Amino acid sequence: MAREKVYAVPEHLDQEIARLKLRALGVKIDKLTPEQEKHLASWQEGT
C-alpha cells in the first residue's frame, strides 16, 4: 500500500502555486500598501 507524503518546497514556489490556483478559481488578491507592510513589519511576537 502506497503512503502519501508531504514534501517541503521553497516558500517562493509555494506562494506561486497558491497564486496560480487562486487565479484559476477566479479569486483576486489585494496587495498591501507600503504603509500596511510597514505596520505589519513593526509587530513583534508576543506584543
In a domain, 2, yes or no: no
How far apart (Å, rounded) are the C-alpha atoms in residues 3 and 18?
24
Determine, yes or no, domain membership for 1.
no
In a domain, 47, yes or no: no
Provide DSSP, 4-44: -------HHHHHHHHHHHHHHTT---PPPPHHHHHHHHH--
pLDDT of residue 45 exceeding 70: no
Q: What is the pLDDT of residue 5?
A: 93
Residue 5 lies in a domain: no
Residue 11 has pLDDT above 80, yes or no: yes
27: containing domain: 11-42
In the predicted structure, residue 46 carries a pLDDT above the cut 90 = no
Q: What is the pLDDT of residues 16-42, one digit of tens each?
A: 999 999 999 999 888 999 999 999 999
User: Do the domain assignments include residue 29?
Assistant: yes
The number of domains in the chain is: 1
User: pLDDT band for position 44 (50/70/90)?
Assistant: confident
pLDDT of residue 34: 95
